[in-house]
Structures are given as C-alpha cells and as structure tokens.
Amino acid sequence: MQRILLGVLASLTFLLSIPLTAKQALAIPAFARKYNLPCSVCHVPAFPKLNDFGNLFRDRGYQLGGETDLPTSETLTNGYWPVAIRTTVGYQTSSLNKVGDGTPGDPTSNIATGDFGFTGLDILSFGTLARDISFGVVLTPGLGSAGFGSGSTETDSDLEAAYIKIDNLLQSDYLLNLKVGKFELDLPFSEKRSPTLDTPFVMYHYVAGNPYTTALGNPGLIPAPCCPAQTYPNANDFGIGDNHPGLEVSGFKKTPGDGYLRYSLNALSNSDVNAGNTGGGRKLNFYGHVTQSIGGYGIVSGQRVGVFGAYGDAPTAPNPVCAASPSAPSGCGAIAKDGASFYRAGVDVSLTAFNQVNLFGALMHAKDSQKLFSSQGIAGAQDAGWNGSFIEMDYNPIQLPTWLFSYRYDVIRNTNQGDPTFASDFNDVNSHTFLARYNFNISARVDTTFHVEYNYFRTKKTDPTGGDQVGQTTLVAFDFAF
C-alpha cells in the first residue's frame, strides 16, 4: 500500500508539471450518424472512452431531449441504422516463461507466439425504442481464425449484452431508472470503454487459486508427482468485469458544486457463476456502486470518489437429479442450497487536471468462503482473501490532440489461500501496461485508430517448480469502428 501511495503522489507531481490546456475528443459512429454531430461530443481521443458529456448521454438512456431521439423521427434518413461494427487488425506477440517442468530440453520451458491477425468482431446496437425506453445489444460471433493465432474463438459466439432500460421512471429527472437483461456492471472504470485492447483489469477477473496470464494460457501447469501443483480448484469464478444477467436500479442527480451523485444497485442471477463446472445456481448475487463528483463527471473535468461492492453465492455441486452427458458434463446445473458465499468491497477515485489528464484507480478487498474450496476436495480448506488495485493515467496533450497516452499498474496481493498448502503470496500479480493511440481518420461515419500496446506481468510462485513467471504481450494494430 505504501508503494501505491508513493506512485499516486509521483503521478500527481507529474500532473502539476503539465501546462493548462483544452481537450479534443472523438466518437464511435452510430450516434454521430443519428444526430449528425461531431464525434468529439461524446468521446475522448482514440475511442471508446467516454468524456463527461458522453457519460451523461448514456445515463439519460442515449437521449438529448429532442425529437431526434425517437426512432420514428422524420429527421432520420432511410440510410440510418443504429448498428456499429468494431474489430482490430494487426500484429501481436506474446510470451510466457517457465511453463514446463524444468527438465533439460523441455520444449515448453518458454512459449511465444507472433502473428498477424484480428481480435474478433463486435456487432453493437444501442439506441431508443421510444421516449425513455432504451436498449443495447452486443453480438460477438465465434470466429475460427480470430485471436492472433493464440486460439480459435469459434465456440465463443454469444450475445455479450442484451437489455432494455426504462429511464426517468415517475418523471424523476433520471433519479430512478430500471434495466433488465444482460449488461456490464457500473464499474469504477468501464472495461468496455478502456483504451487497452490486450490487457484486462486484473482485479475485475482474478480468481483465487488460478494463475493469472494474459493472451497465452498456461499449458505447463503440471500436476504432482512431477511437480508441485500450481493451481487449486475454486468453485467461484464470479468477476465484476463480466457481463451478467440481472436487473439494475440506477439514477443520478445534479448536486451543488456542479457535480453528480450516481448510484447503481443490481440483483444478478448466479446462473453464470461456475457454469463450466456446475452449470450455475438459482440464487441471486448483488452488486452496487455509488459515486459523488464535483466540478463535472470526473472523467475529463472534476473529481470523483466512489464505493462499490458485491455479495453473492457460488454453486459448488452439480444437480444429482440430472444425468451428465457429453454436451452437458455437469448435468442440468447446480443446487442453490449447495452454494457458498463470497464478497467484494472497494473504493475508487477519479481525478482530472488541466482538462487533459485523467488519473483514476480503485482498491478492492475480496473474500471467498471456505466451502468454495472444501467442496472441491481440498483438505483443510480455509477462507481465501486477496486485495486488488489498479491505477491508470490517461494523457491527451493539447500539443497532440489526436493522441492518447496511457499507463496502468495492476496489483494483486493474496492474504490467505483457500488451499493452506500454498504460500500466502502464491499468484500475487504485478502488471504494467503502456499504450499510445492515434486517431488518423475521424468523421461522423468512421473512427480509425493506430494502436500500440505493451504489457509486462509477473506472477509469484506459479511456475511448475514454484518460481515466478513473467509474461509479455505487444500489440501493433489498427482499431476501427463504422
């Protein structure tokens, strides 16, 4: 924690050295086509990160308050269609060391790939069905050759998001809104809006007992008796960064000091938790996030603080009533009464300076109960606890208005392992990500960005001989949406 605080102070010192300037921003095309407005209305440079106005537009259900909001508006031409497509093409290299058993000549001691390719495809549609009724649909089709050579996504086809949102209930000036379906949670910072393409927010997806990697899997996790087991089973794979099916009650209110009070309260199905093992349960999980800003939304102007947390139940056993089959190895799902609890709790901060720097971060404590491990056959299982955090600085210099430079530091520190035979610092993570994005084709129809991203991470004691592992990814690509 002392190192993190010193890093924050160093970053703030850097911010104060930057001259006072203004900020330009860019956008994804679907709404720009609809309203015939400059893309700079909603996005910071090198989409998809939203600026203050873009966040307000989203919170109002993609409405500006005029006739053009409605899909029946006569101002919309026959050529308008609320669909956008996004993909990324380029060259990616990835490496991971110490994945073999350490024997001489072991070909898997270090693995690396380098390929031209593309990340996949997002087909996005957002908009309004009627006044104060909005929707969102994101289709990610499975593609056999996607993934820069690191593996097919053919079996991953899914509706990543599908929801309807009823806004401004009881004419409350957007203090009360209701969303139902499958959607992204209101995170301290949206992973879908992050400028990073290769590197997830580690604490959003971290699972105690499972070694962390980025683009490459870890084929070298060799079980005993050859080597110490470098993973242990955890019945809870809930991630706050994943889209979840559920219901959200949310709202915002303008407050003194030109700020906003925002809240999001969610009841989520736990049917997608541990789905690959038990098929998911029948209970509800809960997530909430409350923020207060002053001087803006805290993205390109103003400052913001928030608290967030999740509490839930992860199923631990398959349903014995349903027989397993090749297509459903776990039968028809878990039994809710066989679940075990977990929680996540944290705080987040977002600071802006000189209209061109956004410094933000979050700190979260997580706990998985002992039964999540004893149910998987771990002798002497105990509660698992860990702390996760990240800090990111996005810099859009006025001297280079179409560029965005970012650095993010992700940290995981375990305090207690679910399997007591593992060291307390097993799978601790340090991750550094650097990127630059340059928008060279900007219009109300298309956004095209040149993207360079490098990530370096180290995990403690996760190689088959008990040592540390180091992984790296580099991506040079064109990220475009139309």
How buried is residue 454: exposed, middle or buried, by Cβ count under 10 Å (0-12/13-18/19+)? middle
Q: What is the pLDDT of residue 320?
A: 59
Residue 28 CA, chain-centre distance (Å), reads: 19
Asked whether the beta carbons of 368 and 388 are under 8 A apart, the reply is: no
pLDDT at 1: 42
What does the alpha-carbon distance between residue 216 and residue 462 come to, in Å, rounded to a whole number?
14
Which residue is associated with the tokens 């996504």? 153
Task: Please provide the size of the chain in residues.
Answer: 482
Residue-wise pLDDT for 176-186, tens only, equals 999 999 999 99
| Side chain identity, residue 146 | A
143-170 burial string, b = 16+ CB within 10 Å, else e?
A: beebbbebeebeeeeeebbbbebbbbee
HSE (side-chain half, CA atoms, 13 Å) at 472? 9
Task: Print the domain residue range for 41.
Answer: 2-481
Question: How far is CA 409 from its chain centroid?
Answer: 15
- CA 108 to centroid of chain Cα atoms: 30
Sequence-distant (≥ 6) Cβ neighbours of residue 445 within 8 angstroms: 29, 32, 33, 482
- Nearest Cα neighbor of 272 from 308, 236, 311 is 236
- CB neighbours of 118 closer than 8 A, spacing ≥ 6? 87, 88, 89, 90, 146, 148
Inter-residue contact 115 to 148 (CB < 8 Å):
yes
How far is the CA of 416 from the CAs of 2, 218, 314, 383, 407, in angstroms?
20, 23, 19, 7, 29
Number of H helices, E strands in the chain: 5, 17
Burial call 107-142: b when 16+ CB within 10 Å, e when fewer:
eebebebeeebbbbbbbbbbbbeeebebbbbbbbee
Copy the structure tokens of residue 94: 């990835």
Q: Name the 3-class secondary structure at 131.
A: coil
Question: Does 225 sit behind a cis peptide bond, omega within 30 degrees of 0 on the bond before it?
Answer: yes
pLDDT at 4: 41
**pLDDT (0 to 100) of residue 180:** 97
* DSSP strand pairing (340-353 vs 429-442): unpaired
pLDDT recorded at residue 109: 75
Cβ atoms of residues 209 and 235 within 8 Å = no
pLDDT tens, position by position, 65-84: 777 777 777 776 655 678 88
* Spatial distance between the Cα atoms of 289 and 241, rounded to a whole number of angstroms: 13
* Total count of domains within the chain: 1
> pTM for the full model?
0.86
CA angle 34, 180, 284 (to 5 degrees): 150
pLDDT in tens, the chain (482 residues): 444 434 433 333 333 333 322 232 223 566 777 777 766 677 777 678 888 888 888 888 888 777 777 777 777 665 567 888 888 999 999 888 877 665 665 655 788 888 898 888 888 888 888 899 999 999 988 888 887 766 677 777 888 999 999 999 988 899 999 999 999 999 999 998 888 988 999 999 999 998 888 866 666 566 556 666 688 888 899 999 999 999 999 999 999 999 999 999 999 988 888 776 655 667 899 999 999 999 998 888 899 999 999 999 988 876 655 555 555 555 555 455 567 899 999 999 999 998 889 999 999 999 999 999 998 889 999 999 999 999 999 999 988 888 999 999 999 999 999 999 999 999 999 999 999 999 887 666 677 889 999 999 999 998 877 888 899 999 999 998 88
**Which one-letter amino acid corresponds to residue 79?**
G
**Euclidean distance between CA atoms 201 and 391, whole angstroms:** 10
What is the largest distance, in Å, between two alpha-carbon atoms of the chain? Answer: 73
In the numeric block, the tokens 């806004």 are attached to 167
Is-contact 392 361, C-beta < 8 A?
yes
Q: Residue 14 is inside which H or E element, if any? A: helix 2-16
CATH of the domain at 233: 2.40.160.10
Q: Find the Cα–Cα–Cα–Cα dihedral 407, 412, 413, 415, rounded to 10°.
A: 160
Angstrom distance (rounded) from CA 129 to CA 218: 45
